[in-house]
Amino acid sequence: MLTVDFSRFPLAPGDRVLDLGCGAGRHAFECYRRGARVVALDQNEEEIKEVAKWFAAMEEAGEAPAGATATAMEGDALALPFPDESFDVVIISEVMEHIHDDKGVLAEMVRVLKPGGRIAVTVPRYGPEKVCWTLSDAYHEVEGGHIRIYRADQLLARIREAGLRPYGTHHAHALHSPYWWLKCAFGVDNDKALPVRAYHKLLVWDIMKKPLATRVAEQALNPLIGKSFVAYATKPHLPPVDAA
């Protein structure tokens, strides 16, 4: 289940991509399949081990084209272990709402991004996220949980302040908002509640089968209740320095 729309965020074979806070690796895997040279970075050791295993399995199965590479590594988003201007593309999906120093994270992403490079940022959308917070304290008041809810204009302002130029936005995963509202209403850790189990089965079916009816419904509902807000931006080229 991808949050970044690669029709709006195109990759070229050979692009060097950083998936920052990669989690289970969904965007890193897609970039690898598209021929990129991918680095998937996360602070969670166990998740990085799993991502590395999947990269190896994908290579063995021939899922990535010739020239594509993939590396999984632990790291700190506030102190990235890469030189300046190392990447053509940076993706940070559903991560910034967890980090106190979001300006620091954006500064690090800008530092390692090449001039002319592209960045995709996704965060939980304000409206659906506010419903979750209202229904359940346990949803966000956990170690490593969500510490803020972004409004779209606030996130875009952060991106501009970091020196990036936004060029597009959209919402995603409308069908997932009701699932999380049900989870919050019946108990975040209560997976046995019938409405939660039933809706989860629907989501799994939708992800696996991708029927036209639910695809059309989600596209129609995304502007209203899309669970994620997605922003795309570029790092401008600096003007030439006048030697005089």
Rounded to whole angstroms, the maximal C-alpha distance in the chain is 73
The pLDDT value recorded for residue 146 is 93
- Both tokens of 220, joined, read 């129609």
The pLDDT value recorded for residue 35 is 97
Tell me the angle at which helices 176-186 and 126-135 cross, rounded to the nearest 10 degrees: 10
Rounded to whole angstroms, the Cα distance separating 133 from 136 reads 5
Q: Which residue positions in the chain have pLDDT lower than 70?
A: 239-244
Rounded to whole angstroms, the Cα distance separating 49 from 2 reads 21
- Put simply, whether the predicted model's pTM sits higher than 0.85 gets the answer yes
Residues in the chain: 244
Which secondary-structure segment (H or E) carries 180? helix 176-186
**How many H helices and E strands in the chain?**
8, 7
Q: What angle do CA 7, 41, 172 make, to 5 degrees?
A: 35
- Both tokens of 33, joined, read 């399949």
The pLDDT value recorded for residue 241 is 52
